[in-house]
Chain A
């Protein structure tokens, strides 16, 4: 009996990240069942993601029952900062991973008592590129820019801008010290995402946070 090989092309047509998407879909279904609004918060290192969450958790105390997952390459510092304002915080250490994936969020959620929780913040790894393409099961993607990063960052990160359900522009208290072209920034955003709301905020002074809290409350 002789062995022969035959070369064949097999059409597949399936999503490359199907395994991640399936886990994210299961997470999304469970969160919806529990009535939890889940935010994937993405932004560059130093844009103020943790500072924003600190201010947000402080403002929501007694009004909402939030939980927080916080992803970082290393250290537990962000988790420790947020644990002062929220009793349901899980730090996810990604090691050398530049973004969170659905399985990490699912496993972190399993460590939390979700009874009574109505709001989930997932602080992604500081990065404007890698996190965008990985569905975590969130209800909304919130993109955080800050004035100190420069006004060209929207144009340089089209996927980030196009995928965002809300954009926040942080550190507006520093505007007098910087030459940030606010109109040019918004014009770049509009070309990529005509309808996304853009809210100017300062996590440090609290300026503009009311609009962000209203956006959250309206969900």
Chain B
């Protein structure tokens, strides 16, 4: 038992690669939903209507100051009580979306607030339509400003998705735990998937920064 033996990892390599694909799918779904929550949250916050603002602030503070694991467990047990029966993977996506959503609201809000009012007024003075003002003066510059922060938030969410193994969601860590419990090769299995996670975050980072260079950076 004390000898390292990576044979089992090679033997079940296909299963691990399948896990990588599922982790990518799980986190992509979580990221997309978290962005939607982020945009809706910021829109609610910007209405200046206390009835819409207060829930957003409470949501952000509550989620950012409690562990993801507890949020995941709470949701896992709360949904069936509400009569909603979902498989663990869907529950995991909802939990990731809620957690990432709170951070996205903070990041997007920061970006939108960084646009000076004078810039919007200047757009209006130049006779731009409100759609043009929103797209070219608010949205795109704001996205440029927050793109790096949003990118690292996406990677963090992907790494956090490993915690979803604790409700048996289908992803890489869960597959690794299954292999581990059948073979007792804990170190070898976790060492290998740590390398796979490193590869995943490197891939996402490379993809995001090349998208960023092309679409979200200022000329030269």
To the question of whether A and B form a pair in one complex, the answer is: no
